[in-house]
């Protein structure tokens, strides 16, 4: 036997001990199936709820691919069945919301869909007096949405979005994610949470969102399958929507069209998947990386590169949820009978008030309940009345902490 120099013997011994301790602590075992398993056998290991082998899969659906939405069912089922807790660090302002959005046992999904009262409409604005230079825009949006909610038996929440700032002064666009996280907590009985940007008018009050896109028939009527997704600026992105979907597993509904997917108007179902998605959406990397169309680009990135996002998402045709005014080049234009119109990109143009008034006069006539008229008249309308953590019962992790 060759005798090693004393200093080399110490190095070799230390290396062997280090590897033994590492493998014993983290339980790392290579797999012959192209995957890696991490067992939680000591401090620092991953949660035992993630201790399972999930096949590695392609992360994109390109034009030349023909990947079925069923491809990832086994992996998705293994993840959702485990109901893993959130284990990575989230910004401190949001840490108290993690793990509180999970689906209550009282919510029973079925092919009939949610009851009318299990839909929550969410609006948010900045607390400033004006918006797009349109006189009394907030009061008009309040009337439009509250009358619709009253007609169809939906809940409505209007958040002051400036009270939901993230930890490090991130752009306000990202604040919609903590608003949505809290919406699920404030309304534990709802199954669907429906976000609409302020610059949207509901044009067709006769059409319930359930009949339109949430029911099996409405979803099938408006879903776009195996079709090109455009990129910001228009033109094919090289990505396509999945060729099929499983209705019971759909957790996110969004329109796709001219400039791709626009998250000004979308609907989420209460689920562990949605809790995970909202947490991933505000990953600090996304916030730092995506600055052109911030939270919209974050969503697009997740959809493109995470199969589990695509397989739980249904894209509708653009006019189903996100038609544009005739002057707007972002996509298909609103036609009489269409559900809603979105003034995206109007900005501070002096033409915005005129465009808004034009389409406001074209909307379907509807009755405004007298109680809403009274609230608007006496200043008690629930506009921006929801602030982060205020009014939430103690024990949820969001109630303000006394000094």
pLDDT at 12 over 50: no
Q: What is the pLDDT of residues 172-211, one digit of tens each?
A: 888 999 999 999 999 999 999 999 999 999 999 999 999 9
Written as six digits, the tokens of 292 are 């052109």
* Residues 346 and 105: beta-carbon distance below 8 Å: no
Strand blocks (E) in 32-118? 36-38
Tokens 């939680």, residue? 40
CA 269 to chain centroid, in Å, comes to 9
Closest-CA residue to 343 (of 356, 360, 331, 332): 356
The CA-based angle 51-16-28, given to 5 degrees, is: 10
What band does 291 get if pLDDT is binned at 50, 70 and 90?
confident
Read off the tokens for 317: 């045709």
Q: 85-110: buried (b, 16+ CB within 10 Å) or exposed (e) per residue?
A: ebeeebbebbebbbeebebeeeeeee
Mean pLDDT of 209-234: 91
Confidence of residue 307 (pLDDT cuts 50, 70, 90): very high
**Beta strands of 294-361 (E only): which ranges?**
313-317, 340-342
Nearest-Å Rg of the Cα atoms of the chain is: 24
Q: Is the distance from CB of 71 to CB of 307 less than 8 angstroms? A: yes
Arithmetic mean of pLDDT, 137-159:
96
């Amino acid at each position: 036997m060759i005798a090693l120099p004393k200093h080399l013997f110490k190095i070799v011994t230390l290396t062997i001990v280090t590897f033994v301790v590492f493998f014993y602590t983290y339980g790392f075992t290579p797999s012959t199936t192209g995957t890696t398993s991490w067992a939680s056998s000591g401090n620092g290991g991953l949660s035992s709820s993630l201790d399972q082998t999930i096949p590695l899969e392609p992360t994109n659906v390109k034009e030349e691919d023909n990947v079925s939405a069923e491809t990832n069912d086994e992996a998705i089922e293994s993840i959702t069945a485990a109901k893993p807790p959130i284990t990575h660090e989230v910004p401190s302002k949001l840490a108290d919301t993690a793990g509180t959005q999970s689906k209550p046992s009282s919510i029973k999904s079925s092919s009939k869909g949610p009851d009318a009262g299990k839909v929550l409409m969410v609006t948010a604005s900045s607390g400033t007096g004006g918006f797009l230079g349109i006189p009394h825009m907030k009061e008009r949006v309040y009337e439009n949405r509250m009358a619709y909610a009253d007609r169809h038996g939906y809940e409505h929440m209007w958040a002051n979005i400036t009270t939901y700032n993230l930890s490090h002064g991130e752009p306000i666009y990202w604040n919609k994610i903590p608003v949505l996280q809290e919406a699920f907590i404030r309304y534990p009985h709802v199954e669907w949470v429906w976000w609409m940007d302020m610059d949207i008018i509901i044009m067709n009050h006769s059409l319930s969102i359930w009949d339109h896109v949430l029911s099996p028939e409405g979803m099938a009527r408006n879903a776009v399958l195996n079709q090109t997704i455009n990129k910001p600026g228009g033109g094919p992105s090289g990505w396509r929507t999945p060729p099929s979907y499983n209705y019971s597993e759909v957790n996110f509904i969004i329109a796709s069209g001219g400039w791709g997917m626009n998250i000004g108007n979308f609907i989420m179902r209460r689920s562990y998947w949605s809790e995970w998605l909202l947490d991933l959406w505000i990953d600090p990397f996304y916030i730092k990386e995506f600055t052109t169309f911030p939270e919209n680009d974050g969503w697009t990135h997740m959809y493109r590169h995470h199969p589990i996002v695509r397989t739980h998402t249904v894209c509708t045709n653009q006019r189903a949820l996100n038609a544009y005014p005739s002057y707007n080049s972002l996509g298909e234009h609103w036609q009489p009978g269409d559900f809603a119109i979105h003034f995206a990109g109007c900005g501070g143009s002096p033409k915005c008030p005129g465009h808004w008034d034009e389409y406001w006069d074209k909307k379907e006539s509807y009755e405004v309940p007298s109680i809403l008229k009274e609230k608007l008249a006496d200043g008690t309308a629930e506009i921006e009345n929801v602030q982060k953590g205020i009014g939430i019962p103690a024990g949820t992790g969001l109630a303000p902490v006394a000094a």
